[in-house]
Chain A
Amino acid sequence: MINHPDGQVILLAHGDGGALSRELVEQVFLRHFKSEPLLPLADAALLDDSGGRLALTTDSFVVDPLFFNGGDIGKLAVCGTVNDLAVSGAVPRYLAASFMIEEGLPLATLERVAASMAAACAEAGVQVAAGDTKVVQRGHLDKLFITTTGVGWLPAGVEPGYHRLAAGDVVLINGFLGDHGLAVLSRRHGLELDGQIVSDCAPLNGITGALLARCPGVKIMRDLTRGGLATAVKEIALAAGVDFRLEEEALPVRDVVRGAAEMLGLDPLYLANEGKFLAVVDAKEAQTALDVLREHPLGRRTCAIGRVEAGRGNVYLQTVMGGTRLLDLLAGEPLPRIC
């Protein structure tokens, strides 16, 4: 990493397509994204075709603050897109990254983000194959937005899909809920919590690949990002036309997250995660899936949290007290109801 002189910041000219732009790309991005397809800096990257079905996804990343406990916008931009490919059953290969930068952003900040992206790419085994940079006037956006587009290939025989869900299927998740949402929130507001909360931001293609290798019958996978577990399950239920019954007692939430969420009036079931996914598997395969996931470093705390039932898109939560709550999509901050 080179040292940028103190106070060196992004200028509008860094985005004008001229000399400064080229310097920025060469000095920052090319140094970090050591990728063959990217190197020619051509108008389009030429990718090797593995012959399978192509998977394509894109996502824009906006996070305040840019850096938080356990991650930053760069790592997020890589993991978010990699994970969308991974839970689709694909093997992620290439990313395109588009940077929207606010005039005045310290160059050192961009440098840190690029380095973090490169590290995440290495962990995920993907390459940045194309890129773009735009600089906008001060105040026209907040520091830095990143859009990543990901390409991957679906291995033969892998075909997760809503239509495959059936009553009795088991829902697994690979660990604690809500860490990312609270880590970002607590950094944004400088919250002093009763313990460290670290974002779970991580590329999931390793663990999903391991799962698919041993349990090709996985019916569907889904990462638990914005809206959290509850929103993800509700969306699946609606799309697949089945019901889900989740056991509150089985949902893994760290004490520190539970306590902070209670104080903040937030429900861990609706907090964002960036390294968690759910997998729905046939009951017969549940134990194997559980074992495979638990063997992976990102799945040590994998557990079964509920089942699929015949139905029409309802998600039931069996509460610890013995009642049944209906879970719905995230709908803003909850207003008090207790009279």
Chain B
Amino acid sequence: MSTQTTRLRITVNGTVQGVGFRPFVYNLARTCGLAGTVCNTGKGVEIEVEGPPEAVRRFTGELQARPPALARITGLQCREMPPLGDREFIILQSHGQAAGQVLVPPDVATCADCRREMLDPADRHFRYPFTNCTNCGPRFTIVRDLPYDRPRTAMASFPMCPECAREYHDPADRRFHAQPVACPACGPQVTLVDAAGRSPDGLSGPAGVDSRDHDVITAAQQLLQAGYILAVKGLGGFHLACDARNAAAVDALRRRKHRPCRPLAVMCRDMSVVEEYCLVAPEERELLLSPAAPIVVLARKPGCPLPAVLAPGLQTLGVMLPYTPLHYLLFAGGPPALVMTSGNRSGLPLAIDNERALSELDGIADYFLLHNREIVNRCDDSVTMVVGGETQFLRRSRGYVPRPLAVPVPAGAPVVLGMGGEMKNTCCLLKAGEAYLSQHVGRVDTLEGQANLAGSRAALARLIRAEPAVVAYDLHPGYHSSRLAREMAVPVKTGVQHHHAHLAACMAENGLTAECAGLILDGTGYGPDGTIRGFEVLRGDYRRFAREYYLAPVPLPGGDGAVRNPWISAVAYLYTFLGRDGLDAARERFAHRGKELALVETMLRAGLNTPPASSCGRIFDAVSAMLGICEQSTYEAQAAIELGDLVPRFPAGRREAAEFPLDLQPYPCSFRGAVIDPAPVLAGVWREIKEGVPASRIARRFHDWVAAVVIAAALRLREKYGINNVCLSGGTWHNRYLSGVVPRLLAQKGFAVYSHHLVPAGDGGLSLGQAVAGCYRVSDGN
């Protein structure tokens, strides 16, 4: 047995503050029998341990193998130090923060310990809607500035009571240095008011609810139970909540929110409720239960008793589990499943403060469940799905932001801002090889949306201490995000083509730098020639790209009007590519459109406001409308989503996916040079509609045509240029059949296939690609 003593200084970088790292280190050191210190610094956490070499080895091993659940170690350096003869292990005061390698963690769903306490009548946190600890609770949404300490959060206005203060300062306590700690004696409170803003005492009360005899939560539960719509202030914004089992309540919510069809998210009390309604693969279960607690799009069980109106025309349901103490309390006695959709007026950012919510959600919500903790950073729920065992983001926001992604950048790269797109906007700051994507910003076509973008960008810059030297934006002349970029006081501005940005985003999150083939399937992207694109096969890297293959453009009568009316795309495709037969088909199929159809025909004949579009989204729209699935779109990509719902569901689980048959039955593909000709697929679809072939089979063959076309293009590119890396990007890859089948088929043919698993394939990931492409471009000096 050795009596030797060594001392080691360990510097840890990454998400290591606000995640219970120091108590973990403290406890680990004591378990290992080591003396020394731990301290938060501006660069992360600095640990010094002293003791027998064996114990120090064990300590460093455990540190890396089993860090706290929420920690993310990005760097760890060890240095031998002369022993100082320390006797005990102590936590030192923080010093020298603000150098900018410390990351604010994302918000974390309520942990099991906190949940247990909430249910314990003997605990002082019993039924307290804002309880949290070092392992859970609000983070990003309450932080104003760095360093991440209580005075710089929304908790600044809630001085800790002696008991909370004791726990906060006790290294052995599970609330040690948990910045948002609170209890009923000192923390935020909830209130329930009606639409006129009257307090619960003045609540005249619908039948069966008397808030004077119950606490606020019970009253809210009863209102939900009775079919009312509640605006509930949450972590990153307001939700509009109603009983998900109550079709009339859901209907009323849709009417009031002017949202006839868009799927509504449902929050279920627990896993057993989720499993009562939906099929849940192990990977989906894991995601639902993860600290980020995102919405996961699940397949409904056959015979699922929830009303169809939750997601009309779809067999899926976006489901999440409770993630704040308030949610858990609402479910302790309330309905087992609640609609929890974003609390905003259509097209506007999520409401985050009480005053605005009362005015903006007036006429939508019957009652308002408010609280007095400020939401500093707006943060919508994240939306995910699992395809073949792998997570895909439809929206990356709460629970993930502001965690960075490591991406390849050239040496000495400047800080670059990607401004994102026009819808589903996010922005992205790229600093020292780490890409920080903002929360979901959404539409920026209103001043409110633009203010949201500006605010999100500013908050991100503050939290990572990075001001951009370069801003990269989309080339579309009508994007407000691009206008804002051009107006910014940033030295260098660079436009990045929409689909080049998609390709770059996919390369970046997969760490690629060499030239790739990009199978870009998308709705609308502005091309360098001023036309609209969305179905193109690119060859390129971050610096440059070439368009190798693309779908023949179609004149799009009325531009965005056609996007809102998929039947117009159908007429345009039929008229343009099938000649006289197509015109007859359009007239037969859309006779009920009457004069509108004549108008569209005239526009096509005269070329009246018919911008050409080579778009995957539009051909999906066309087929969806031809099949009578969706002729008018009330939310983005509705026609394509409903068409995709008809094809075989690519399994969520890895094991099931391995057995999924990959035999394509495509309509014929035809290339004319670089141009992909849609005539054969349109003719095939129309012929089979006439023959009475079931819509699901036609939908399947159409999807297979898309798959076959892009695979054929990838093969041609490999033959011509020897490129074996293939990136799949653009909004169409949110189609679970295509995103399940195509990568497997490409892999079978020996391709290295890269898809999106860290950022959305659609425009939610655009800002990442802009930032990285912009970064390489300026680093080259051209």
Residue in chain A with minimal CB distance to B564: A338
Tell me whether A336 is interfacial, beta carbon within 8 Å: yes
B332: min CB distance to chain A, Å: 35
| A→B interface (CB under 8 Å) | 185, 189-194, 260, 262-266, 316, 319, 321-326, 331, 333-339
Alpha-carbon separation in the docked complex, A166 to B283 (Å): 63
Alpha-carbon separation in the docked complex, A194 to B594 (Å): 9
- List residues 522-565 of chain B with CB under 8 A from any CB of chain A: 522-526, 530, 532, 556-564
A332: min CB distance to chain B, Å: 9
Alpha-carbon separation in the docked complex, A338 to B569 (Å): 14
A157: min CB distance to chain B, Å: 40
Residue in chain A with minimal CB distance to B568: A263
Closest 8 CB pairs of A and B: A265-B558, A323-B446, A324-B447, A339-B523, A265-B559, A338-B563, A265-B561, A336-B559
Alpha-carbon separation in the docked complex, A263 to B598 (Å): 11
Tell me whether B263 is interfacial, beta carbon within 8 Å: no
Alpha-carbon separation in the docked complex, A264 to B596 (Å): 10
Are A323 and B449 in contact, CB atoms less than 8 angstroms apart? yes
Are B422 and A339 in contact, CB atoms less than 8 angstroms apart? yes
**A-B pairs with beta carbons under 8 Å apart, 15 shown:** A189-B603, A189-B606, A192-B598, A263-B557, A263-B599, A321-B258, A322-B360, A323-B448, A324-B447, A336-B562, A339-B421, A339-B422, A339-B523, A339-B524, A339-B636
- Of A189, A264, A266, A319, which is in contact with the most chain B CB atoms at under 10 Å from its CB? A264
Are A334 and B478 in contact, CB atoms less than 8 angstroms apart? yes
- A339 in contact with B617 given A264-B609, A323-B345 (CB within 8 Å): yes
Alpha-carbon separation in the docked complex, A263 to B563 (Å): 11
Alpha-carbon separation in the docked complex, A264 to B559 (Å): 8
Q: Which of B422, B559, B564, B613 contacts A334 (CB 8 A)?
A: B559
B524: min CB distance to chain A, Å: 5
Are B609 and A337 in contact, CB atoms less than 8 angstroms apart? no
Tell me whether B600 is interfacial, beta carbon within 8 Å: yes
> Which B residues lie within 8 Å of A326 (CB)?
447
Tell me whether B94 is interfacial, beta carbon within 8 Å: no
- List residues 479-529 of chain B with CB under 8 A from any CB of chain A: 479, 522-526
Known A192-B595, A323-B347, A339-B525; 7 more pairs at CB < 8 Å:
A262-B558, A265-B561, A319-B347, A321-B345, A337-B423, A338-B560, A339-B423
Residue in chain A with minimal CB distance to B359: A322
Q: Which of A193, A321, A339 contacts B731 (CB 8 A)?
A: A339
> Which A residues lie within 8 Å of B753 (CB)?
none
Are B478 and A263 in contact, CB atoms less than 8 angstroms apart? no
Are A338 and B423 in contact, CB atoms less than 8 angstroms apart? yes
Q: Which of B421, B556, B599 contacts A336 (CB 8 A)?
A: B556
Are A323 and B447 in contact, CB atoms less than 8 angstroms apart? yes
Q: Which of A264, A319, A324, A331 contacts B603 (CB 8 A)?
A: A264
Tell me whether B291 is interfacial, beta carbon within 8 Å: no
Are B447 and A193 in contact, CB atoms less than 8 angstroms apart? no
> Which A residues lie within 8 Å of B447 (CB)?
316, 323-326
Are A263 and B600 in contact, CB atoms less than 8 angstroms apart? yes
Are B762 and A339 in contact, CB atoms less than 8 angstroms apart? yes
Range, interface on chain B: 35 or more
Are A265 and B599 in contact, CB atoms less than 8 angstroms apart? no
Are B559 and A335 in contact, CB atoms less than 8 angstroms apart? yes
A306: min CB distance to chain B, Å: 15
Tell me whether B457 is interfacial, beta carbon within 8 Å: no
Residue in chain A with minimal CB distance to B348: A323
Alpha-carbon separation in the docked complex, A264 to B562 (Å): 9
Are A190 and B478 in contact, CB atoms less than 8 angstroms apart? no
- A192 in contact with B563 given A323-B447, A333-B609 (CB within 8 Å): no
Alpha-carbon separation in the docked complex, A322 to B598 (Å): 34
- List residues 428-471 of chain B with CB under 8 A from any CB of chain A: 445-449
Are B476 and A337 in contact, CB atoms less than 8 angstroms apart? yes
> Which B residues lie within 8 Å of A262 (CB)?
558, 561
Are A192 and B599 in contact, CB atoms less than 8 angstroms apart? yes
Are B476 and A335 in contact, CB atoms less than 8 angstroms apart? yes
Are B445 and A325 in contact, CB atoms less than 8 angstroms apart? yes
Are B595 and A335 in contact, CB atoms less than 8 angstroms apart? no
> Which B residues lie within 8 Å of A316 (CB)?
447
> Which B residues lie within 8 Å of A265 (CB)?
557-562, 609
> Which B residues lie within 8 Å of A336 (CB)?
524, 532, 556, 559-560, 562-563, 611, 613
> Which A residues lie within 8 Å of B608 (CB)?
185, 189, 264
Are B348 and A334 in contact, CB atoms less than 8 angstroms apart? no
Are A335 and B360 in contact, CB atoms less than 8 angstroms apart? no
A279: min CB distance to chain B, Å: 27
Residue in chain B with minimal CB distance to A332: B477
Alpha-carbon separation in the docked complex, A326 to B558 (Å): 21
Are A337 and B524 in contact, CB atoms less than 8 angstroms apart? yes
B636-675 interface code vs A (CB 8 A; 1 in, 0 out): 1000000000000000000000000000000000000000
> Which A residues lie within 8 Å of B563 (CB)?
336, 338
B608-639 interface code vs A (CB 8 A; 1 in, 0 out): 11010100010000000000000000001000
> Which A residues lie within 8 Å of B617 (CB)?
339
> Which A residues lie within 8 Å of B598 (CB)?
192
